[in-house]
Structure 1
Amino acid sequence: MRVRSVAYDCDVLVVGGGIVGLSTAYAITRAAPGTRVTVLEKETGPARHQTGRNSGVIHSGIYYRPGSLKARYAVRGAAEMVKFCAEYDIDHAVTGKLIVATERAELPRLHALVQRGRENGIPVRELGAAQIAEYEPEVRGLAAIHVGTTGICDFVGVARRLAEASGAEIRYGAEVVRVDRRPELGVAVRTAGGDVVRGRVLVNCAGLYCDEVARLTGDDPGMRIVPFRGEYYSLSRPELVRGLVYPVPDPAFPFLGVHLTRGIDGGVHLGPNAVPALAREGYGWGTVRPRELASTVGWPGAWAIARRHWRYGAGELRRSVSKRAFTDAVRRLLPAVSEADLVPAAAGVRAQAVLRDGTLVDDFLIREGARAVHVLNAPSPAATASLPIGREVARRALGALART
């Protein structure tokens, strides 16, 4: 592809029409009116993957290490997301949530969460076993904490509104297959349909494919996306759960465990279970993409994870293939539930960045190259934190633009 300096279609070219990409476009046009932004999204509409296939929870930020990007952006983003939803009349509610310890071994971790919440500036109420029923009459546990700033919303609705309000050109059905970056001239992207789009700066918010887009650009991301499928059931007796109920998470993993979530539609979702996906969009065991699977198993970090955490993974796999085992995990929190109450629901896939040594990247990861900004790790709570994340990515993109 030949790139001419006079042929720019836009100033900033964003790859990915999920909530982070659209929030970035929104932030750029707010911070620098007149900046021409084009968003390329391979699907026929926004938010078809991680944004549209999660629990819809506005996370408080209680889980995240004080001072980390996750902690800072989630706490700030939760308040901003509620305000954004109210301003644009998007379905949402501030419900609060319970984090419940069901075994004595979990009590120290629960107390540590109280301290972490306070360090992150989050209001937390400690509850004894009898007080749990004030919030959730059917839930049982030894102790719990109530986090008042947690909520729920329609993140797909948020993404659509960001797309409209940004004023950016959004091109759907535009899958990126080639990138030609020339630092002295700009970036040209070819789509699967044969179109060429030229911009001064590229922003990579490709989610499940962010590492591949980085490599297409010519940058070494230093990580690989290893996809984990989150499997859900819906509860046929939603009256058993009033709001949001979570187990005490294991700090060694970036997953929160099987939890109970009353969504904005009134239904209750149970999950997710976290198992390796056989494709980056592998929403079921029957979806296998050999090239993508080879990319995962060929990454040394994937094998390091398997060696290090095989016991944890075996439990997740067992719950994936056994409804009874999944029900047992739910019954730890909600004893009244039975197998018959669980109805299979749509799954999601988490784009988990993994380093070569098997380290699961725990924080948001944003890296820059010549005329490029790459968002390389933005799993949960990225939807909650999307507005401040978008501003940070926009700041870096505008800085790169100023240097052209």
Structure 2
Amino acid sequence: MKEASANYETLIYMIYRFNGQRLKYSTGEKVHPENWDKNLQRLGNNSNKQSRIAFKDSNSQLDRYEAKVIELRRSFELSRLELSPDLFKEKLDEEFKKDSRVSKTAVVVREDFLNFAQRFINEALSGERLVRRRNKKYVPITLKTHQTTLTNIREFIEYRGRSVDFDNIDLNFHKDFIRWLTNVKRYSSNSIGNQIKHIKAWMRAAHTEGLHTSRDYESDEFIKPKEETGAIYLSNAELDKLYLLDLSDNKKLDKVRDLFLIGCYTGLRYSDFTQLKIENISEDGKRLIVTTQKTQSKIYIPINLQVKAILQKYHPSIPGVISNQKMNEYLKELAVKAELNHKVETSITKGGQRIAKFLEKSKLISTHTARRSFATNAYLAGLSTIDIMRITGHKTETSFMKYIKITGEETAIRMGDHEHFNRSALQIAV
């Protein structure tokens, strides 16, 4: 730090010693001395999770400086360049302080929030900007929702009659925008939550690029509303109904049924079970080996008898791709044919009001029902939660349990079969 004993924020300098020489370089980041961890040489108290979260962007920037210096050192040595502090500074300036090369007489116009958000979307569409921490391209449907959020912010600006920029994306904006999305646009809680998530992603990326210093978006109060909806799963008995349907006179529904069942028995997402190839089957024919599109994780899934029969039916190929929208339409038609008419309660908060309905499963079924069905049926069968998560790709048990769609009655029945509730009454001598 520039002034370690100060009682105010002070600049953070990077010190790097090499060959008896010393590089001192300003990172541009600031910290109050009481928030500096001397042992870790980073902002925040390592034992305090909230403290680490609050300073994660600054620490990420410091990580970039450290990694760049190490990279430069190796590059210089391979090129047999004579190492010097000035050489390091020149290359560091090129990487982190590009504006320093701009003429002092040039007028630099700072990019505003709306322009940055549009650039973020455009770069993500072109593949120039990748998903943070995953090094993979954004899914087009995700970017479509990003664009919807930006359109809504423009409408909100016109409605409110005041501009929106980095410095006023604060808790007041958060409250007003959510109120507008709720009362004027009449969005559901989960739709609103997605839009807040996009704004937080834009603010984080813009902060990393040095476009603002605001931190309100990291506050615990800058929440992303969300709620559990009436998502359904199909029991093994219901899956059997679908499997046993005679669809010999309707090849279209036959193919959709088989694709859907592969998803139900493997836990794969729509984007994966509609892209399966013969090469995904292990040499002994007992497992599917799939690198998932969303997480790029390699997973191994046992092939059960139903999936084995479906694969043999289409050998040497596998049922091909169909659009998600069309498949959801056909699934509802299939569910009617299989008489999946049991009514379930669904609820959603829309326009600030909780709306509850009882709907037949045939009206609620979708491609995502397959994944929920796999997780729930495997859980009810007593498979290890950790083993199921290895297939579904969930990182935490909390997120995994949101996929488990069992009713209180089903839980009670399952618990009733446990030995804890079936102990013999004790004979007490008197």
TM-score of Structure 1 vs Structure 2, range by shorter chain: under 0.3
TM-score with structure 2 setting the length? 0.22
Alignment TM-score, normalising by the size of structure 1 = 0.23
Question: Relative contact order, CA 8 A, sep 6+: which one is greater?
Answer: 1
Identify, as 1 or 2, the structure richer in helix.
Answer: 2
